[in-house]
Amino acid sequence: MQSFAVLTHISANFKGELPFMNKQNAPRIRIVTAASLFDGHDAAINIMRRLLQQKGAEVIHLGHNRSVHEIVECAIEEDAHAVAVTSYQGGHMEFFRYMKDLLQESGCGHIKIFGGGGGTILPHEAETLHQYGINRIYSPDDGRKMGLEGMIQDVITQCTDTRNYDEAINKWGDALPLNELKDIRVVARAISLAENGDIYDTLLQKLQRGRQEAIIPVVGITGTGGAGKSSVTDELVRRYLQAFPAKTIAVISVDPSKRKTGGALLGDRIRMNAVSNSRVYMRSLATREDNTSVSKSAKAAIDICKKAGYDCIILETAGTGQSDVSITEYSDICMYVMTPEYGAASQLEKINMLDYADIIAINKADKPGADDALNDVRKQYKRNHQLFSATPEQLPVISMCANKFNDAGVNSLFQLLLETIKNRLQLPWLHEAETFNNMLQQPQKNETIIPADRVRYLSEISKCVRDYNSWVTEQSKTASQLYQLNGAIEILKNK
């Protein structure tokens, strides 16, 4: 219950847009936001992350119920300047101290910690946490005094002092942080240097070269905004980790920067369940000044991940328009993710990626019109590639539901992806997936919750009630007339 009092206060002060700092000179502050483990109160952190972004920060939002390990791993991989976490469910002393400890142990004590929990965090507890090295726990009283904007400005101001951040590199030893298989700190910082146009080669010398594969495939995943690219990526990573128990993977995910504020909401991680894993490196990139679906720094990021020895790399773009094919410049294999909701079939003729994609995934196949979409896209693909004699099954067009667990379509997509990589790049280790693929061959029972012909049940229900009400009106009108007639008859009878 305590949370509401605070939230009330926070949102009371929130009146829309805020004045911004001069974006041109603002440093690119990167902040990870989350609500603590076993804590579903995400309203406050949602308001915070919006304001941070409006102030020009790049925000990597993890959402609610996140463990310390997940948050710390994310902060290191994203080379964040700070984490901002709310905790309304108790256990905050242990939670924040553990976060500080884990960052410190990982050589990342420079990552600042900000927190809040309304009335659940008592003033003397906040004081104890400050002494422990937590940069600031904001109290309801701070909210009253500083206002919401003041608190956010305080976070940003503290983050602009980057002395510890800059010096951290010199302290990193050989021990790998968080039992990861690679030095994710170095990879993360190298990518940041590349993003800022600085030289990163010297830093890469710190990487302990493991056995590096000769060919490292780069899979590009692109598609319109809201098509479900992140879910598809997550589902592919999950299957990859199961299929290749000794292999590593890096995911680079791009989201757009807001031109007006310079800030960005890097929201792909919130959808990911599989990436918090010692064999996975994930990095979110904002497009920054570029007006494309892929960040300029993506090439460098891929290069760095290759040098770090990741066995496979996925590059996920921001949402694209019909003409965008920039992904093809970066990747060996391109996948285009779309939904059945593209409008008329003629729209397909305009989508450039249908010419260039190696694989086309039609997500949300439980939506109406999914069968038509599969047909239309196959037809378009045939035309684009002059494959007039190909059978529909031979075409690399797959219909699937990434939001369904163990979806048969996603299983086929994964197999098709491996097949395509194998044919294109001749990777020797891909056969390791055979056992896993055999497992996938088991027939899947894909149940739907509401059958397609029942989807309009709520309309039927409101009609049912309205019909009843009009029937009542009509029948009681008749009853009234009968009452009146009866009255008249009674009067006449008695005359």
Partner 1 sequence: MIMLYTELEEKYTSLQNKLDPELQKLLGEWKQLQEKYGKEVFEYTVRGKVIRQDMATTSLSGTSIKKVMLPKYNDWGDILRWQLQENVPGSFPYTAGVFELKRQGEDPTRMFAGEGGPERTNKRFHYVSAGQQAKRLSTAFDSVTLYGQDPAYRPDIYGKIGNAGVSIATLDDAKKLYSGFDLCDPHTSVSMTINGPAPIILAFYMNAAIDQLCEKWIKEHKQEHKAASRKKEKFSGNEIPFYNDTTSPDIIPTGNDQLGLALLGISGEEVVPPGIYEQLKASALQQVRGTVQADILKEDQAQNTCIFSTEFALKLMGDVQEYFIRNSVKNFYSVSISGYHIAEAGANPITQLAFTLANGFTYVEYYLSRGMHIDDFAPNLSFFFSNGMDPEYSVIGRVARRIWAKVMKHKYNGNERSQKLKYHIQTSGRSLHAQEIDFNDIRTTLQALYAIYDNCNSLHTNAYDEAITTPTEESVRRAMAIQLIINRELGTTQTENFMQGSFALEELTDLVEEAVLKEFDRISDRGGVLGAMERMYQRNKIQEESLHYEHLKHTGELPVIGVNTFLSSKGSPLITPGQVIRSTEAEKKQQIKNVLQFQKVNETKGKESLKTLKEVASQGGNIFAELMNTVKYCSLGQITHTLYEAGGQYRRNM
Whole-angstrom distance, CA of residue 93 vs CA of residue 117? 11
Q: Apex CA 88: angle with CA 85 and CA 93, to 5°? A: 70
Binding to partner 1 in span 410-439, by CB under 8 A: none
Binding to partner 1 in span 297-336, by CB under 8 A: none
Binding to partner 1 in span 138-157, by CB under 8 A: 140-141, 144
445 part of the interface to partner 1, by CB under 8 A:
yes
Whole-angstrom distance, CA of residue 81 vs CA of residue 58? 10
Q: Which stretch binds partner 1 (CB under 8 A): 86-94, 301-309, 343-351, 423-431?
A: 86-94
133 part of the interface to partner 1, by CB under 8 A:
no
Residues pairing with 136 in the sheet: 114
Cβ at position 7, least distance to partner 1 in Å: 8
Three-state DSSP class for 42?
coil
408 part of the interface to partner 1, by CB under 8 A:
no
**Residue among 199, 387, 390, 479 that touches partner 1 (CB under 8 A):** 479
Q: Which stretch binds partner 1 (CB under 8 A): 317-325, 372-380, 429-437, 470-478?
A: 470-478
**Residue among 355, 464, 470, 494 that touches partner 1 (CB under 8 A):** 464
Q: Which stretch binds partner 1 (CB under 8 A): 23-31, 38-46, 74-82, 341-349?
A: 38-46
Q: Which is nearer to partner 1, 214 or 458 (CB)?
A: 458
Cβ at position 265, least distance to partner 1 in Å: 8
Binding to partner 1 in span 246-265, by CB under 8 A: 265
Cβ at position 308, least distance to partner 1 in Å: 28
The DSSP annotation for 50-111 comes to HHHHHTT-EEEEEEEEE-HHHHHHHHHHTT-SEEEEE--SS-HHHHHHHHHHHHHHTT-TTS
199 part of the interface to partner 1, by CB under 8 A:
no
90 part of the interface to partner 1, by CB under 8 A:
yes
Whole-angstrom distance, CA of residue 437 vs CA of residue 454? 35
Cβ at position 409, least distance to partner 1 in Å: 14
**Residue among 171, 209, 385, 477 that touches partner 1 (CB under 8 A):** 477
* Cβ neighbours of residue 196 closer than 8 Å, sequence gap 6 or more: 28
Residue 484 CA, distance from chain mean position:
68
**Residue among 323, 347, 423, 481 that touches partner 1 (CB under 8 A):** 481
**Residue among 33, 86, 120, 135 that touches partner 1 (CB under 8 A):** 120
Q: Which stretch binds partner 1 (CB under 8 A): 116-124, 321-329, 383-391, 422-430?
A: 116-124
Residue 100 near residue 108 (C-beta atoms within 8 A): no
Residue 204 near residue 191 (C-beta atoms within 8 A): no
CA distances from 246 to 222, 238, 277, 302 (A): 27, 13, 12, 21
Q: Which is nearer to partner 1, 134 or 334 (CB)?
A: 134
Binding to partner 1 in span 211-240, by CB under 8 A: 231, 234
Binding to partner 1 in span 268-287, by CB under 8 A: 270-271, 273
Q: Which is nearer to partner 1, 166 or 457 (CB)?
A: 457
Instruction: Kindly state the DSSP code that residue 332 receives in the 8-state scheme.
Output: S
Q: Which is nearer to partner 1, 202 or 273 (CB)?
A: 273
Q: Tell which residue, 113, 118, 102, has the closest CA to residue 135.
A: 113
Three-state DSSP class for 399?
strand
Binding to partner 1 in span 368-407, by CB under 8 A: 403-406
449 part of the interface to partner 1, by CB under 8 A:
yes
Cβ at position 123, least distance to partner 1 in Å: 7
Contacts by 163-170 with C-beta closer than 8 Å and gap 24+?
164/109, 164/110, 165/81, 165/110, 165/111, 167/110, 168/107, 168/108, 168/109, 168/110, 169/203
443 part of the interface to partner 1, by CB under 8 A:
no
Cβ at position 320, least distance to partner 1 in Å: 19
Cβ at position 325, least distance to partner 1 in Å: 27
38 part of the interface to partner 1, by CB under 8 A:
yes
**Residue among 105, 123, 171, 369 that touches partner 1 (CB under 8 A):** 123
Residue keyed to tokens 């906040």: 126
Q: Which is nearer to partner 1, 11 or 346 (CB)?
A: 11
Q: Which is nearer to partner 1, 385 or 468 (CB)?
A: 468
Three-state DSSP class for 388?
coil
Q: What are phi and psi of 291, to 5 degrees?
A: -105, 40
**Strand 112-116 and strand 82-86: pairing?**
parallel
Q: Tell which residue, 24, 99, 288, has the closest CA to residue 115.
A: 99
347 part of the interface to partner 1, by CB under 8 A:
no
Residues pairing with 285 in the sheet: 254
